[in-house]
Amino acid sequence: MTKSVLVTLDGEVHDFDAPLLHADDLAAVRGDGIFDTLLVRGGRPRKVRRHLERFANSAAAMGLDAPDLTAWDKVIDIAAEQWRDAVGDSGPEGLLRLVYSRGRESRPGSVTAYATITELPARIAQARRDGVSVVTLERGYSIDLAANAPWQLLGAKTLSYATNMAALRHATDQGFDDVIFTSAEGAVLEGPRSTVVAVYDKTLVTPPVEIGILPGTTTNAVFELAEQEGWKTETRVLLPADLIAADAVWLVSSVTLAARVTAINRYVMPDDADEHRFADLVDRAISVD
């Protein structure tokens, strides 16, 4: 079993199996905090700057003190060094998670902050290799909600992921691998842990963050590289029918990278003869720091 890594913000390396949180930590009792996840490949965390920028934006939305990004950068380096010592430069990929909560309920003003690295779940390799079938589920809000109710934290990566996990369990119970959320108007939003990208020939389309979805660090990197290589990119509101009409639909995330959607609500998507073209684009995008 691959060693897991745990490092607190002060740079101290901890036993991964030893207790860390207090029972009244607001991360545990209220989900009052943020997190972010990075891929570790070849022993190196990928797209650190982009993730730390999103981490800071999530903290601002939550009303947490601005994270010291220099300190977090150092913690990421320490954790990555520990991971390389355990698995080597050519070892398995890792999932690096940053966690920052408001701390203990009994000690206002305290914070809890740490980073972990663990081996990727088996589902990741399967999703990359075989793709995923998805069901569309209504998220329960309008695309106007993010602008009208910023306290809903729709653009922040918070620890309150219970609804997302419940949606994934519901999908599994119905025989699907994953979920694409839709708004009250029927607009495509995002997956519980991914961004939706539709491919039309050499045009990439993804929903705009303004409708209440998390900014996708990997999708942004992919779009930048795609534009440099002659692709066209668009950000616009999509409907499920637009996904059905696409040449291919992908769920993109920092850890899974690219999982091709093989079926939507049991409608089988046509085979994509060029599916490796997009997956290769994603791989190259995350390899450039």
What is the reported pTM?
Answer: 0.94
Sorted by where each begins, the domain ranges of the chain are 5-120, 125-287
- pLDDT of the residue at 273: 66
DSSP 255: T
For the chain of 289 residues, list the mean pLDDT of each consecutive stretch of 10. Answer: 90 96 95 97 95 97 96 98 92 96 94 97 94 96 93 92 96 98 97 97 96 96 96 97 96 97 96 82 88
CA 266 to chain centre: 25
Pick the CATH number of 125-287 from 3.20.10.10, 3.40.50.10610, 3.40.1350.10, 3.30.465.10: 3.20.10.10
- pLDDT of the residue at 260: 97
Helices and strands, counts by H and E, the chain: 9, 14
Give the separation between CA 89 and CA 237, rounded to whole angstroms.
Answer: 41
CATH assignment, 5-120? 3.30.470.10
Which of these, 100, 142, 95, 143, lies nearest to 119 by C-alpha position? 95
